Amino acid sequence: MTDCKTVFTPMSPSTRLTKFVGTPMDDPTLYWSTIGALQYATLTRLDIQFAINKVCHFMHSLTTDHWLVVKRILRYLKGTMSHGLLFHRHTTLSLSAFSNLDWANYPDDHKSTGGFAISLGWNLISWSSQKQATVARSSTKTEYRAIANVVAELTLDPILAQRA
C-alpha cells in the first residue's frame, strides 16, 4: 500500500459493518496482525480509534468487506503521517470532558458505541471509544451510560482525581 491513493477520513460515515455481508476471508492472519499494529497506533492517533474499534468487533467473523475498511484506514494513515498528539504548555489547568455516542448503530446486536475525551488545559490526557455492554432501550439511557463512563474516569483515576 506504499503507492496507494490517500483518503481524508479513516472510515466513510455511511459504512455499516455486519458479520453477515461479504465473502468470508480464507486466511485471517494478515487481518489480525494489521489490526494489532493499528491498535498500537491508536495510542498516539486518536483520529483512527473509532474506526479501529469498529473493525475489531469482527475478529472472529471476517469478510472481505471488513478488510476493505482496514485498507481504507491504512490509506488514511498514509496521507496523514504528520498527525499525532501535541502537548502545549498552558498556564491554566482546567479539566474538560466530552462524550458522544451512536445509539444502537450495530445491526448485528443493536448495541451502542460510546466514547469520551478528557483534556487538561489544551492537552488531551484520557480518551476511550467502546461498544456498550448492554442494549439500551432508549437514547436517553445510552447517553446516561456514556456520561457515567466519563464521570467514572474522572473520579476513579487517582491522577485525574487529584487535579479535578
Which positions ≥6 away from 147 have C-beta within 8 Å? 99
Residue from 112, 106, 98, 110 nearest 147 by CA: 98
Which positions ≥6 away from 109 have C-beta within 8 Å? 135
Could you read off the pLDDT of 20-37 as tens digits, one per residue?
A: 788 888 888 898 999 999
Give the Cα separation of 63 and 24 in Å (integer): 4
pLDDT for residue 162 is more than 90: no
Cell numbers linked to 66: 471488513
Residue 68 has a CB neighbour count (10 Å cut-off) of: 11
Query: Domain segments of the chain: what residues?
Result: 1-85, 95-163
Could you read off the pLDDT of 69-79 as tens digits, one per residue?
A: 999 999 999 99
Q: pTM, whole model, 2 decimals?
A: 0.63
Per-residue pLDDT, 6: 92
